[in-house]
Amino acid sequence: MRAAFTAIYFLLCDGAHSAWHRIRSDEVWHFYAGDPLDVHVLDGNGTLVTHRLGNALVHPDAVFQAVVKAGDWFAAECHDSSGAALVGCTVAPGFEFSEFELAEPGALEALHPQHRDLIARLGPKV
């Protein structure tokens, strides 16, 4: 039986990033503490949107939460590479690994060459 929703929280720090991936459910990112975090989203048309998660009371360009639509490619990194951000993700219907796809950098770059540098920088560590 599939969960109605799932939720996780994690710390991104020391230059780590969340590599380009997509899932088949909507995902809500929540900011909890620390420095601002950029969530980069590529839709099927190649439009890039960057959501800056952070304390919106301190950083006027930040929001406390943002939605990534099902099927969109996304990656995340601290706005300042020396920063640390405690964030969470809620997925509905619930996350299942069988619906998770990690981007193959060359293929994603070929689809969206206008974003080649960002895609390469936030690809999986090999």
Distances (CA, A) of 95 to 7, 22, 29: 8, 11, 13
- Within a domain: residue 64? yes
Report the amino acid identity of residue 94.
G
pTM reported for the whole predicted model: 0.94
Residue 14 contacts by C-beta under 8 Å, 6 or more apart in sequence?
Answer: 84
Three-state SS for 116?
A: helix
What's the domain count of the chain? 1
Strand partners, 38: 52, 77
- Within a domain: residue 18? no
- Within a domain: residue 70? yes
Write the CATH number for 50.
2.60.120.10
- The tens digit of pLDDT for each residue in 1-28 reads 899 999 999 999 999 999 999 999 999 9
- The tens digit of pLDDT for each residue in 69-112 reads 999 999 999 999 889 999 999 999 999 999 999 999 799 999 99
Where in the sequence is the domain holding 63, given as residue range(s)? 26-79+86-100
What is the C-alpha separation between 48 and 1, in angstroms, rounded?
A: 35
- The tens digit of pLDDT for each residue in 40-73 reads 999 989 999 999 999 999 999 999 999 999 999 9
- Within a domain: residue 68? yes
* Beta-carbon count within 10 A of 66 CB: 20
What is the C-alpha separation between 8 and 23, in angstroms, rounded?
A: 15
DSSP 54: S
